[in-house]
Structure 1
């Protein structure tokens, strides 16, 4: 590959979609040389344009382009240029790699929570957008790996759940024990106060816990203080996360 063509390819890798004039300035080449480099890159399947006019010109071959350019100059018309912007053509493998992030993160959230909703992404700084994650979740649903539906009442929007999570929710609903008290560390991903559950959002602070009474947040604070206020230290207190051993 000629050095001039390599320079154009490197420019597009660094700057993305660009006009011929921008490429010419960035590579210190004449626009005609940039056009020739673009034709070479298009023929190799490395570059594409965002319009059809330049591609139609390409179909005529180099000799026809030369004759048309000379005719345009002789007639005093503007020089024939490769109109529109030019950019690298992503391969199928690169497209798949671009989708790997949302798909991987969707699976991670499903393993962590069992049920995924838009509200859950509020505490996830690595989620670029709910839209990207939603596409991955819909793909998993189409494959039969997850189920779509309404699993959590009071929330608006699409929800997705692992099949085993749906069965667990049904089982918990059938065998619910009134008066159950569960302790969750504030740093635990299960701390969804202020996200899915009522109340102000609780920072993920070490040694802080949230006490849930029948699934509703009842107390927050250090473990000892919470137990003291609730007056509960018996075996019915269940504890999860990093706050200490289970009781």
Structure 2
């Protein structure tokens, strides 16, 4: 790339990272993006993205420009976000969105969900006890909740990263909140937190313990 553009490799790499940071370019690998995210979190005080060592990592993988996204009006954008949240959680109410920093205000989502409920697309009701206010759910989520309610505990184990949207400890699940930036993970057994720690250590402990 540098040879074709007749530029220094460092100039090409720096320009590439600026395009990635601006959302104009995407790659087919994660190693370069991880380096970019590490730089974004640490920060340098400079406008351009640089590594602590003073140079940029090689832009491994293949890179391509993002296609032009269609312009969305505010109403359509709101509906897409409302649909995305429903598909992510199955059941949506105010407390579920505590970690969704990019979510629209709840009052705006409620208007969309009320309209969809009137159209028969989703269900409204009280699906999760202990929380006040309106709740909305996909029909298949309601059926899944009924199935779970009728079933007995099976000792099912789920391992989550703290950064996973399903990390609702301290919000819906009893326990202290675990920051998505902590680098930790958690083990849930039948929906109850059983262990917290580095993901590698959690997986090793589970492998040593064997099946419950």
TM-score w.r.t. structure 2 length? 0.59
Do the aligned residues in 2 keep the contact of 1:117 with 1:160 (CA within 8 Å)?
A: yes
Aligned mate of 1:160, from 112, 133, 136: 136
How much has 1:174 moved relative to structure 2? Answer: 2.4
- Give the secondary structure class of the aligned counterpart of 1:211: strand
Aligned mate of 1:128, from 104, 117, 127: 104
CA RMSD of aligned residues (A): 2.4
Specify whether residues 232 and 174 from structure 1 end up closer, same or farther in structure 2 by C-alpha distance, changes over 3 A only.
farther
Aligned position for 1:200: 176
CA distance in 1, matches of 2:78, 2:147: 30
How much has 1:178 moved relative to structure 2? Answer: 3.6
Unaligned ranges ≥5, structure 2: 1-71
CA distance in 2, matches of 1:157, 1:176: 29
Do the aligned residues in 2 keep the contact of 1:227 with 1:233 (CA within 8 Å)?
A: no
Aligned position for 1:27: none
- Give the secondary structure class of the aligned counterpart of 1:201: coil
CA distance in 1, matches of 2:76, 2:142: 26
Specify whether residues 98 and 224 from structure 1 end up closer, same or farther in structure 2 by C-alpha distance, changes over 3 A only.
closer
CA distance in 2, matches of 1:128, 1:143: 22
Specify whether residues 195 and 228 from structure 1 end up closer, same or farther in structure 2 by C-alpha distance, changes over 3 A only.
same
How much has 1:200 moved relative to structure 2? Answer: 2.0
Alignment deviations for residues 88-120 of structure 1 (CA, whole Å, 9 cap, x no partner) = xxxxxxxx9332222111100111110001012
Aligned position for 1:149: 125
CA distance in 1, matches of 2:181, 2:126: 32
Specify whether residues 230 and 192 from structure 1 end up closer, same or farther in structure 2 by C-alpha distance, changes over 3 A only.
same
- The alignment of Structure 1 onto Structure 2 pairs a total of residues equal to 141
TM-score w.r.t. structure 1 length? 0.51
Specify whether residues 173 and 121 from structure 1 end up closer, same or farther in structure 2 by C-alpha distance, changes over 3 A only.
same
CA distance in 2, matches of 1:134, 1:168: 23
Residue 76 (structure 2) pairs with residue 100 (structure 1): yes
- Give the secondary structure class of the aligned counterpart of 1:182: strand
Aligned position for 1:113: 89
